[in-house]
Amino acid sequence: MFRHGPSACRRNRAFVRWTSSYPSKVRAFPFKLSPQDALEQMSNYMVSASYNLQAALDEVLRQKPQPPEKMVAIYFPAWLIDAEVEALVTVSGEASRFEGVVTTTFTNSYLPGHTMNKLSTTSLLSDLSLEEAVPFSSDLLEQHGTNITCLPFQTTPFPMVEDAKRLPAEAATIGNFHIDPSSIQVNLMAAYPILLPLYLAQFTFFDISKTVVVEAHSEEPRISVERVHWSKGSPAPNSNNPPDSWLRRFVGWNEKSTEDAPGRHSKYFWYPQGSLASFSNIASYTIPSEWPQRLANTSVVPPSLLIPDLGSWLDSKLTPESLRSLVRSNDTMEDPRVRPFVEEEVNGVRKFFQLSEERAKAYAVLDGVSRDTTGDKDETLAEVRDYAFSSDRLRDEATPSWWRVWESK
């Protein structure tokens, strides 16, 4: 089983003292699956799919698939992040070079809230319903007759911005696009602390253990199976396993079709049910209005085709080392940028993002009209200018009050 810190939740006085400082901003997703439901979900894959090796060898080895040696229900802390970020980007083509400010909007991007071994290196981002998130309370300590172990928040997302600004220039290049790390600026950022319900089960086969993770907030959960690569391991001393030569070949074949299947795994997990998730979720981006025409005259790959590359690039920056650098002992929850994951808060932030996009479009139109050298455009120019200026005002009015509080500090 993965190593993790001491339980932060107990049904006793110590727990009460701990939760007395547990922030009201935290929202938890209830366990929709009971332990038995989770076991049934696992069994579909631990025997028939990922463990088809054991099923195939069952008759030869005369052993039946065993239940997990250990199984625990935990609340895993995480951050969902909404942010609008801009930076100076230089485009280098074969015969041209130009630059401008690019604005990128992130919604529901994911950051682990705990440095738990391996589990903190994979994204648990999925479709999370605002309506299902509830304030954390002692009522959630026991669900489906099972005690829940709760891990405390260790990380804070806000140092990521300063860390990004310190990146070397050569580390901030995606295709022909070169980001100036020192120019990175956040126009708005909200971090929502949540607790994700998980079942962790440890299975042992041929004397080697691996952990299975079931995301219990959904009745059709994603299942993550730890990649152990039995075929590359060594049999335990005094093992009763079959001869190593044919067993290793059989296991290796099985691994290629399961935990090494292309597009179905991360570094530490493969996904027999559900799919690999990204940490970053890019909702939109805005480029300078003159770029489309300039890009059309170059061999540079359009920005829209680089969005997956940008997401992968951002994901690659989240390593166990960088995550540990986000561990803070101070009370992050007091930061005004930490918001409860509720409809009012999220909608307010998304409205700002929407008005930012409309503002960018208005100024793109204004720039186009200003560049037009045909005919009498004074009246049109005045109307478009008024529209652009009004978009400034609407965006400013939509700025959340808590963001102004933070900026004032």
pTM confidence score? 0.85
Contact (CB, 8 A) for 277 and 110: yes
| Three-class secondary structure of residue 255 per DSSP | helix
**pLDDT above 70 for 310:** yes
Q: Which amino acid is at 198?
A: L
Tokens (6 digits) for 214: 């079931």
CA 294 to chain centre: 34
Pair type for strands 97-112 and 282-286:
antiparallel
pLDDT of residue 20: 30
Structure confidence by residue, pLDDT tens digits, 127-165:
899 999 999 998 999 999 999 999 999 999 999 999 999
Spatial distance between the Cα atoms of 220 and 122, rounded to a whole number of angstroms: 19
Spatial distance between the Cα atoms of 300 and 90, rounded to a whole number of angstroms: 12
**pLDDT above 50 for 59:** no
Q: Mean of the pLDDT values across residues 183-211?
A: 90
Counting runs of H as helices and runs of E as strands, what totals does the chain give? 11, 13
Contact (CB, 8 A) for 75 and 9: yes
* Domain locations in the chain as residue ranges: 13-341, 342-409
Spatial distance between the Cα atoms of 254 and 194, rounded to a whole number of angstroms: 36
Contact (CB, 8 A) for 387 and 358: no
Cα first-last separation, the chain: 44
| Three-class secondary structure of residue 68 per DSSP | coil
Contact (CB, 8 A) for 130 and 343: yes
Give the rounded percent of residues in the chain with a pLDDT score beyond 70.
77
Structure confidence by residue, pLDDT tens digits, 228-243:
766 665 555 555 555 4
**pLDDT above 90 for 349:** yes
Pair type for strands 27-28 and 134-135:
antiparallel
Spatial distance between the Cα atoms of 127 and 102, rounded to a whole number of angstroms: 28
CA angle 328, 330, 335 (to 5 degrees): 100
For residue 142, the surrounding DSSP H or E stretch is strand 142-143
Q: Which amino acid is at 53?
A: L
Q: Mean of the pLDDT values across residues 318-344?
A: 88
Per mean pLDDT, which range of 58-67, 72-81, 285-294, 385-394 is the poorest?
58-67
Spatial distance between the Cα atoms of 217 and 127, rounded to a whole number of angstroms: 10
For residue 88, the surrounding DSSP H or E stretch is strand 70-92
Most confident range (mean pLDDT) of 180-194, 233-247, 248-262 is 180-194
Q: Which amino acid is at 84?
A: E
CA angle 263, 223, 113 (to 5 degrees): 95
Spatial distance between the Cα atoms of 55 and 48, rounded to a whole number of angstroms: 7
Spatial distance between the Cα atoms of 199 and 73, rounded to a whole number of angstroms: 5
Please state the φ and ψ torsions of residue 20, each to the nearest 5 degrees: -65, -25
Please state the φ and ψ torsions of residue 339, each to the nearest 5 degrees: -125, 150
Structure confidence by residue, pLDDT tens digits, 2-49:
543 334 444 333 332 233 346 899 999 999 999 999 998 887 665 443
**pLDDT above 60 for 321:** yes
pLDDT of residue 46: 59
pLDDT of residue 235: 54
Contact (CB, 8 A) for 282 and 310: yes
Please state the φ and ψ torsions of residue 245, each to the nearest 5 degrees: -60, -55
Tokens (6 digits) for 321: 């080392």
Pair type for strands 97-112 and 142-143:
unpaired
Spatial distance between the Cα atoms of 282 and 287, rounded to a whole number of angstroms: 14
